Amino acid sequence: MPFPISNQVQASPQAPKHFGITSPISLAPPKESDLLLTRRLEEALRPYGVFEEELELQRRILVLGKLNTLVKEWIRDISETKNLPASVIENVGGKIFTFGSYRLGVHTKGADIDALCVAPRHVERSDFFSSFYEKLKEQEEVKDLRAVEEAFVPVIKLSFDGIEIDILFARLALQTIPESLDLRDDSLLKNLDIRCIRSLNGCRVTDEILHLVPNIENFRLTLRAIKLWAKRHNIYSNILGFLGGVSWAMLVARTCQLYPNAVAATLVHKFFLVFSKWEWPNPVLLKQPEDCNLNLPVWDPRVTPSDRYHLMPIITPAYPQQNSTYNVSVSTRAVMMEEFKQGLAITDEILLNKSDWSKLFEAPNFFQKYKHYIVLLASAPTEKQHLEWVGLVESKIRILVGNLEKNEFITLAHVNPQSFPGPKEGNEKEEVSTMWVIGIVFKKVEGSENLNVDLTYDIQSFTDTVYRQAIGSKMFEADMKITAMHVKRKRLQQLLPDRAVHKRRKHSTEGPSPPADGCLDLSQDRVECTYKATPLPHPPPAPTPTHFGPSPSSLPAVPSDTSTGDLEEPVPPSVTPPIQLQAVPSSTPSPIVAKRVGSPLLEERAKRLKVEEDLSVEKEGAVDGVNVTEMGEDDSATQVTTEAEIKRLPSADLSGRTPPPSQPHLCGEELHQAAAQQVEVRFTCGRPSCPHNGTPHTFPKPPDRAGTKSAT
C-alpha cells in the first residue's frame, strides 16, 4: 500500500545513529517507573479521542487506495490523449502521497487527510483542475467537491466516503512516476515552478521529521500529548501567531533527539524543561541546513535581514528551509513561554507522584484570566459571504495583536484561537457573525490611578488592512462588517455562548447576571469599524460622545457610561490620506488623555524597515473623547479612551499589508459605494483637512483591477 501511516524505523541497534545537530543530553534508558507513567499517560489521553479505532484506520487506507487508483487511471487517460508511446503509458505511474498529522501517525478521530497528487511532466496543472476534477465529480462516494485554484497553494477539497481530504498537485520533471519514489530527493525540485515546490514541501518536511527521530512510536505518543495540551491551553494556531501542527512536531522531534532512549512520559517532561529554558531567538534545527544550489530562498539571517527579527524560529528540515513560526509575535511568544513553565511545574509534580496526567490537560479559563478584553466580530449577510469574510479576518488578527503590542501602555495581547458564534443584537436584518476574544494586560504606571489609553489607531489600521485586501481581491460585499468592543471581564459572559458561560460560572461566583429581559445591549463598550455608520438603538438622553465617520450629522447619539464604556469608530475610508476625526460637541469635560507617543517597538520596527516617517501633525482643534473606566479588584482604574487629538503616524509595520489602492481620494460613504459598486462618484467632502472640502467634485469610475480571492 503506497500510503501507510507508519514508516520503517531507520535506527540500527548495532550502530547507534547520531540524530540532530548536537550530541544527546542523556542516553539513559527508561526505568520501570517511566514505563508505568507512560502507560498512565496513554490512558489519560484516550478520553480525549486522540486515538483512532483500527476499523476507522482501515477505512482511511481503503479510501486512499481508491483515490490512488483514480489518479493512475486519470494519468493514463491524459497520456493517451497526448499520444504518448504505449510502452510509456503502461508504466507512466502517478501516486498519492500523504503528509501532515495523518502521515505522522498522530491524527485524531474525524480528522481530515492532507494528500498530494504527484504526476509526470506531461500532465499539466490545468488538467488536474479540469479533467481530474470532473473524474472526481463522477464518483458516488465524493461529496462537497470544490476547487481552490487561486490559493497560495492550489487545492481540491472533497469528502470521500465521509472522510475530508485536501489534495494538492505537483508535476515532476520525470517521464514516469515510480512506486518507489522518495520525495526527500532534492534533485526532484529541479526545473519545477514555485507552486509545485510549495505543494511538495508538506510531504518533504513530514518525511524528514520521521527520518530524524530515534524512535517513531515514542515520538508519536509524545506528540499526541503535546498537541492535546497545546489545544487545551489555547496556543495551537499558526494563523493567529501561535504554533501549528508541524511546528509542534519539530519541537517534539528535537526533544526526542536530545533524549533518544527516553519513553513518552519522560519526553513530555523534557519537552517542557528544554523549551521553558530555550534562549529564543536561537533557532530550533533538526539537521544542518543544506544548500542544493537551486537558487530558492531559504531561511538564513546572515543573508536575509528580515530573518533576523523572527522571534521564535523553528526551521523546517527539508530544502528550501523555512521558518514555520514567522507569525509569532511578542505577546504570543510570552504566552507560550508562560505555558511552558507551567507545564514544567505540573510534570515535575507528576514525576514525583504528587499529581496525575489529567492536571496537565485541564483547560484554563481564558475568560477569567484577564481584566480587559477586546471582542472582535466579523459579520456578513449570508453564510457563503460569511465563510470567506471570516477566513480573511482571522488571517489578519495577528496584525491587530501586533498593533496592540506597539501601544506603549499595553503589556500583552492574548488572542484566544477558539472562535464563537456572534451574539444576536436583535436587529431586524439577518446576518451571520463570528466572534474572537483578545485578552489585554495594561501596563501599570507608577503614581497614576487613572490611565487613559488610545486604541483608535491600533484598531483602525487593522480594519483598514482587512477592508483594503477584501476590496483588492474583489471579495468585499455590502454589509460585510468588522466590529470591535472593549469589554470588561464582568460583562464578557453576556457575549459568550452558553457552554462558555457555564464553564465560566464553575470557576467564578462573581460578576453581574444577564439582563432580566434576556436582551444584550451592545451599544456599550463598542468600537464600530464599518464603512457605513451603523445606527444603534435610541438611548435615553445623555451627553453626546465623540464619533468617527463621514459627518457628525449622520451618526446617532450614544450615551457615555463610565461604568461600562463606549468607543465608536466607523472604518476609515483609506490609509491615505491620514485618518481625521469629526466630533459631536459634548457638554461634558474631556478626560486627561495619555497621548500615544511612539513606542520602542514601533520605533525599532520603523528603523529596521527603513520607513521614512512623516511626523508632522496638523491639529484641527480639540475634540472630546469617549472614555471607558474599569474598576479593578484594587483601587486603581484603567480607562480606554478615544484620544482628543490624533497624530498622523504612518504605520511602520508593513507585514501582511497590501499596498494602498491606486484610486482618487474618497471619503466615508462615497468610498464604500465606489469600492463595492464600481460607480462614478460626485460628492462634497466634509473633512476639515481635505482639499475637496466644501467644493463639489466628480471622480470617475475606479479602474477594474485584477485580483484573486484570498485563500485562508
| CA pair distance 560, 584, nearest whole angstrom | 13
Cα 525 to chain centroid distance, Å, stands at 25
Q: All 3 cell numbers of residue 132? A: 481530474
- CA distance from start to end of the chain: 32
Please name the amino acid found at residue 157: K
Confirm whether 373 is a catalytic residue: no
Catalytic hit among 102, 199, 207, 236: 236
**34 counts as catalytic:** no
Q: Is 101 known to be catalytic?
A: yes
Write down the catalytic residue from 48, 72, 112, 551.
112
32-45 vs 216-232: helix axis angle to the nearest 10? 50
Active-site annotation holds for 490? no
Among residues 79, 95, 114, 370, the one annotated as catalytic is 114
Q: Smallest Cα–Cα separation from 555: which of 463, 649, 626? A: 626
DSSP assignment of 558-571? ----TTT-----PP
| Catalytic site includes residue 17 | no
What distance in Å separates the CA atoms of residue 284 and residue 379, rounded to the nearest whole number? 39
Which three three-digit cell numbers place residue 100? Answer: 501532515
Residue 299 CA: distances (Å) to CA of 288, 302, 315, 329, 687: 12, 9, 8, 18, 46
Distance of CA 49 to the CA centre of its chain: 24
Q: b/e string for 535-565 if b means 16 or more Cβ within 10 A?
A: ebeeeeeeebbbbbbbeeebbbebbbbeebb
Pairing label, strands 420-421, 432-442: antiparallel
Q: What is the torsion angle, in degrees rounded to the nearest 10, for the CA atoms of residue 565, residue 569, residue 575 and residue 578?
A: -80
What b/e string do you get for 289-308 counting C-beta neighbours within 10 Å, with b at 16 or more?
Answer: beeeeeeeebbeeeeeeebe
| Residue of 95, 207, 227, 532 marked active site | 227
Alpha carbon distance 268, 227 (integer Å): 11
In angstroms, rounded to a whole number, what is the distance separating the alpha carbons of residues 392 and 466? 7
Give every CB contact of residue 502 below 8 A, 6+ residues apart in sequence: none
Rounded Cα distance between 100 and 213, Å, is: 16
CA dist 27 and 214 (Å) reads: 11
The number of beta carbons lying within 10 Å of the beta carbon of residue 87 is: 8
Entry field: residues in the chain: 712
d(CA 74, CA 176): 14
- Count other Cβ atoms within 10 Å, centred on residue 620: 14
Q: What is the DSSP string of 697-711?
A: EEEPPPP-----PPP
Catalytic status, residue 227: yes
Active site residues: 101, 112, 114, 166, 227, 236
